[in-house]
Structure 1
């Protein structure tokens, strides 16, 4: 049997192979992954509805008969935290989340030497024209380094061997298990929604250079390159294994991405460098103080006529008490301690503090392509029948600069 080095040598003049195909799961491992995916789907979709019914029909009437108001998320949490239904829901959801990432670790470990060699070859050759810029001296911020965010073992940044890509694979392939059975979700789906909306709202908008903040493995960045041909696409993240892995994926796909290891609170790009700045599920992972710094950086980096669009969780002020309670579960149970603090902020205030003009700021629900393929316009907050974030729509906020 040919060695890894021999197999890679044979492919030196070919395109970069698919790094995601190297971890091959056994039949038992595939069965475990399917089970984990189905279990998480049940925990995140079906069980919340059951829990809501238990609250409405049993817990709330009992509390209200005692004169206890249940008009905000904290009151609902206080009422539910000791209930068997909520404890069972939390236990199942926590373990399902953790198991999704654990289910891909063994095939990744078996394939890791070959994956590292492939990532090195991608960086040496760059056949798609992308680039990878790493900074081994970059301090990883405490909000990443102090815990396994999302219950992902090893988090985003841990490196176990030289030129490691393991965490990139765990995050990317674990997320496949995590989301495979979820309705209306697909990797890069957020980018497809935002780019479609931008084209509808700004027919003339054709960015020449763009930035994705907290890009992970760049999968939410690649669709923008397809949506805006010729755009120079940059992505930043603090996790080197994510970037190595993502660079290999992009080079295999023939999509030139320029990935660099940086903290988005202080980037090394010059002023006014980008026409378009985006992110996906990024701000709730960092502190509110860091959020303010990142938005100030976005204002510095955005050129006149540029647009900034961040997809995030809906703010507390935009949802009812039960939905607020539902979203805040992750703060206590999913190693996302900044979740509630971020959602408590008014995006309009944060944008103004960063120097964006109030009349140019926006917050929308955008329809998911899988749920509403024929609808191009944004949902307004007061529109009857609008879907919830994560139930056929995505919440975005942002701003633009005058030309």
Structure 2
């Protein structure tokens, strides 16, 4: 958002004030200081992307690349060499340290707000969900090691850890403090990704009328609710490993008036509780990068089994490391794998996902490729123009890979 006036406030192009985010019955209450802490962190992330990253890119061109070539007598060959060379440069070191700091502080800011009221939040969730058959939890479900062994994107306890029966703290933290990294660009309810997918489906498949939709790894339903709202005649099912995010997700959905949705605790690798050909549409949104290679293959196979004839599967992710992607960009995107507790990020983004889809049983001629950009909430950004700022792994611009079953 830009302006030609002399008013500094009118020229401000950072995130909106956190006070404008959408709230619901389960949304944590925030004090003045908690709000300002989130505002500061969101603005710091914007500053790093808009003002510091360009300096890192310049340093790569004028110092890192020439220095590598002098030392080795050849150009940088791949993203791994580019990353290791960047590690020696103070511009990258400063950006990386600050970015990691904002991630840690984002989690601690969010967790402090939630922990001081987590018993109250659990009571609200229980009032909304107890006895509701749209919440199906499985206390015997084993959390796989690729989930339990790491605190994803610096979130202590990841999505599944609970301190007491009925805990929803993981969901509450994930929901209310995600504003730090999205800066409001995913809308009041952090659902701009879901709205983008709906827009893509309605534009490209105008006659598609799903009656059963599944999202795997849907957490609290940010990207799921827009699908349920766009197709009210369909039953939306959200599957996730974590009980806290599922409890929170159903309470959130009910308080937002979305009723055609259920939340089921299960592993996407084993959805045997659902019969073959159960769904018209299966969706994942920024989920594949959190999977081990084996888990990804298993989930792809399950999606093929579960799709009805004429059904579609769509996976929304940050772009793959294609040969035409500059090595600098690849190295910057790889930051999440090494410094943001996303151990499968690097491997997943170098995979041939087309080949993985075919190996899972999809017809190569039926593969779907596309792109979506998060739908901007005009209530938050009334004068928003196309945002060209690149934040390497954070920008709300994603690739779509999927398939249609004949």
Does the residue aligned with 2:218 lie in a helix, a strand or coil? coil
Does the residue aligned with 1:398 lie in a helix, a strand or coil? strand
Separation in structure 2 between the aligned mates of residue 84 and residue 219 of structure 1, nearest angstrom: 37
**Cα distance 1:304–1:338, how it changes in 2: closer, same or farther (>3 A)?**
same
**Cα distance 1:88–1:186, how it changes in 2: closer, same or farther (>3 A)?**
farther
Deviation of residue 45 (structure 1)? 4.1
Separation in structure 2 between the aligned mates of residue 341 and residue 185 of structure 1, nearest angstrom: 33
Separation in structure 1 between the aligned mates of residue 32 and residue 91 of structure 2, nearest angstrom: 34
Correspondence for 2:113:
107
Separation in structure 2 between the aligned mates of residue 139 and residue 270 of structure 1, nearest angstrom: 21
Correspondence for 1:331:
337
Cα shift readout 1:315-335 (whole Å, capped 9, x = no counterpart): 112622122111111111011
Q: How does 1:116-265 map to 2 (within 5 A)?
A: 116-124=122-130, 126=132, 131-180=134-183, 187-256=190-259, 257-265=261-269
Q: Residue 188 of structure 1 contacts residue 220 of structure 1 at CA under 8 Å; is this kept in 2?
A: yes
Cα shift readout 1:140-197 (whole Å, capped 9, x = no counterpart): 0111111111001221111101110011111111212332255899722122111111
Q: Residue 216 of structure 1 contacts residue 239 of structure 1 at CA under 8 Å; is this kept in 2?
A: yes
Residue 269 (1) aligns with residue 235 (2): no
Segment drifting more, 102-111 vs 335-344: 102-111
Does the residue aligned with 2:365 lie in a helix, a strand or coil? helix
**Cα distance 1:78–1:177, how it changes in 2: closer, same or farther (>3 A)?**
closer
**Cα distance 1:249–1:52, how it changes in 2: closer, same or farther (>3 A)?**
same
Separation in structure 1 between the aligned mates of residue 312 and residue 257 of structure 2, nearest angstrom: 26
TM-score of the aligned structures, taking structure 2 as reference length: 0.86
Residue 401 (1) aligns with residue 405 (2): yes
Separation in structure 2 between the aligned mates of residue 324 and residue 52 of structure 1, nearest angstrom: 12
Deviation of residue 371 (structure 1)? 10
Q: Residue 43 of structure 1 contacts residue 96 of structure 1 at CA under 8 Å; is this kept in 2?
A: no
TM-score of the aligned structures, taking structure 1 as reference length: 0.86
Q: How does 1:297-336 map to 2 (within 5 A)?
A: 297-317=302-322, 319-336=325-342
Does the residue aligned with 2:103 lie in a helix, a strand or coil? helix
Deviation of residue 336 (structure 1)? 0.7
Tell me the C-alpha RMSD between the 2 structures.
Answer: 2.3
5+ residue gaps, structure 1, are 1-16, 373-384
Aligned length: 369
